Amino acid sequence: MTTPTGTARPPRPDIQRAFAHLTPLAPQAGASPEAQLIAARAFVDRYGDVEPRGALRGVDVTPMNIGECQAEWLVPRNARKGDRLVYLHGGGWFAGGLESHRPLASVVAELTGCATLLVAYRLAPEAPFPAAVEDCVAALSWATDNGPEGRAPARSLLLAGDSAGANLAAAVCLLAIGAGRRTPDRLAMICAPLDGAPNPSRGTRPDIVAGNGELERAMAAYVQGQAPIDDPRISPLKADEGLLARFPPTLLQASGAEYLLWDSQAFAGRLIDAGVRTSLSVWPAMPHVWHAFLDLLPEARQALAEIAAFLTPGR
């Protein structure tokens, strides 16, 4: 970050605190694969919790199962009947779930006024590709015809996800379009990895959470040779233009400081070229998925408010 004169300006104390919180939580090199996986999952579960997490307020939580994965409806007091949002959590395809993302998804539910289905898809390495994609496809299909009040068609159907969940959201859209099923009315993707292969276009931004090494290890654990890395279900950036042209209006958010910024920029460019209404929103100096720092960074709720305004225009 620089001032107009070009002099380096230190980040705000709260931003420094967010990065300081993340640094010791990241799994350490040299540990066994089992220990690294345990540490990584614990890291994601408390990703944004600089302070102890408070009680959840403002939504009613209803646990459920969809096929082989757990899920829960987060229903805000201001929910509009028939308006549904499916939220796919991040965590590198091997971590995260209901516990890690309930606070973030609950804020999204309140801001949009939508019953929000938070999906705990199966995780790698125990369940490699395409298990997570299959679970997310099933969840979106289920939410098309079922809400927290029971079986009924969705009036509006929205889709959002962060990090690996944003990758899965793009893959779900591609598969729904290809199969002729109902696609989301709108899509929001937060800090998405959209190319599974190493790509020098990403540059060399240091990123302790989702840098080059972290992405390669996560992809290896997720894919396990089950498909080529350029399969669009893994690398949505490689999708056919004809499928991309049928995407819903899409918002991509990314930090200007993160390694994966290029992915959002490149995917937004492809959507724009395909004629899709696309918004790319870049937030300077933030950590990867800063939205999780709800009680520390004002930009967390501001970014979620931007998502809600995009997903529910004219509310």
Q: Is the pLDDT of residue 314 over 90?
A: no
DSSP per residue over 66-92, as a string? ETTEEEEEEEETTPPTTEEEEEE--ST
Question: What integer pLDDT is reported at residue 5 of this predicted model?
Answer: 42
pLDDT in tens, 53-86: 888 888 999 999 998 899 999 999 999 999 999 9
Q: Is the pLDDT of residue 31 over 80?
A: no
Q: Is the pLDDT of residue 279 over 90?
A: yes
Question: What integer pLDDT is reported at residue 1 of this predicted model?
Answer: 44
- Tell me what percent of the residues of the chain surpass a pLDDT of 70: 95
Sign, Cα dihedral of 204, 206, 207, 208: positive
Question: What integer pLDDT is reported at residue 75 of this predicted model?
Answer: 98
Confidence grade of residue 7 (pLDDT, cut at 50, 70, 90): very low
pTM: 0.95
Looking at the annotation, which residues are catalytic? 163, 258, 288
pLDDT in tens, 99-134: 999 999 999 999 999 999 999 999 999 999 999 999
Extract the tokens encoding 60.
């009613």
Q: Is the pLDDT of residue 207 over 90?
A: no
In whole angstroms, give the CA distance from residue 80 to residue 112: 9
- Summarize the confidence of residues 179-186 as an average pLDDT: 97
Sign, Cα dihedral of 29, 234, 22, 280: positive
Query: Mean pLDDT score of the chain, rounded to an integer?
Result: 93
Residues contacting residue 311 through CB under 8 Å, at least 6 positions apart: 85, 112, 114, 158, 160, 186, 188, 251
Partners of 158 in beta bridges? 85, 186
Q: Is the pLDDT of residue 10 over 90?
A: no
Question: What integer pLDDT is reported at residue 6 of this predicted model?
Answer: 44
| Angle, helix 98-112 to helix 33-45, in steps of 10 degrees | 30
Question: What integer pLDDT is reported at residue 236 of this predicted model?
Answer: 98
In whole angstroms, give the CA distance from residue 82 to residue 10: 46
Cα Rg, the chain, nearest whole Å: 18
Confidence grade of residue 29 (pLDDT, cut at 50, 70, 90): low
* DSSP-assigned letter for residue 64: E
Residue 138 phi/psi, 5-degree rounding, is: -65, -40
pLDDT in tens, 142-170: 999 999 999 999 999 999 999 999 999 99
Q: Is the pLDDT of residue 90 over 60?
A: yes
- Tell me what percent of the residues of the chain surpass a pLDDT of 90: 82
Length of the chain, in residues: 315
Residue 250 phi/psi, 5-degree rounding, is: -130, 135
The whole-angstrom distance between residue 154's C-alpha and the CA centroid of its chain comes to 22
How many CB atoms sit inside 10 A of residue 27's CB? 18
Sign, Cα dihedral of 138, 144, 147, 152: negative
